[in-house]
Amino acid sequence: MTGEKLFYRIKRGDVSAFEELFRQFYPSMCVVAKSYVKDDTFSEDIVQEAFIKLWNSKENYNDINSLKSFLYVMVKNLSLNHLRKDALGKKYTKELDNSFQNDISHKIVEEESYRIIYEAVNNLPNQTRNVMHLSLKGMQNQDIADNLGISVNTVKTLKYNALKTLRVVLKDYYVVLLFLLGDL
């Protein structure tokens, strides 16, 4: 069947004519797509998508050459779009994966550090433990003193003694303790 007859039949919605066009151009379109995406499966998907778009817009073409041009351009554009999406997807996925891993690792270290510190603080004498718990909640020395009904100097002394004790108990975690407790 000549190209022009095929074109007019396709334009009228003749599925068998479109299948003929598909059989004629599918292999070469796959070669075009593969030259961009370097993958047989993606190339075939891209070409099939291009043929679907061609079928859906068949009324917009005036001759067989414009139809063929559309097909080549569509395969090229879909291939480039795939490469952009793939590159963005890989970058985004890698960033998410790295971010997730860093967040999880950080969270585990943080939670474990707090658990170790709170366990050590809970083994301190009663009044010292109360001062340290309030301090860990972010309260200032004056607020702790007011809350517990003791002097600010007593709060400072109890904190000093607690840090001295915790230095020994948490000798392997002392840097973490200083980081978390800040400037007590």
pLDDT tens digits for the chain (184 residues)?
566 787 788 888 889 988 988 888 888 888 888 888 888 898 999 999 998 988 888 887 777 777 777 888 888 888 888 888 876 656 655 665 566 555 555 655 666 677 777 788 888 999 999 999 898 888 899 999 999 999 999 999 999 998 888 888 877 765 655 555 554 4
Record the tokens describing residue 94, joined without a space. 């890698």
Arch. (CATH architecture) of 3-91? Orthogonal Bundle (1.10)
Domain ranges of the chain: 3-91, 123-181
CA distance 57 to 74: 12
CA distance 54 to 11: 10
Question: Could you tell me which residues come within 8 angstroms of residue 135 by beta carbon, excluding any fewer than 6 positions away?
Answer: 144, 159, 181, 184
Record the tokens describing residue 7, joined without a space. 């074109």
Q: At what angle do helices 3-11 and 64-122 cross, to 10 degrees?
A: 60
- State residue 183's pLDDT score: 43
Which CATH code is given to the segment(s) 123-181?
1.10.10
Q: Exposed, middle or buried, 44 (CB in 10 Å: 0-12/13-18/19+)? A: middle
CA distance 134 to 44: 65
Record the tokens describing residue 9, joined without a space. 């039949």
- State residue 157's pLDDT score: 93
Q: Identical fold at 3-91 and 123-181? A: no
Of 23, 21, 25, 15, whose CA–CA distance to 3 is shortest? 21
Record the tokens describing residue 163, joined without a space. 């840090």
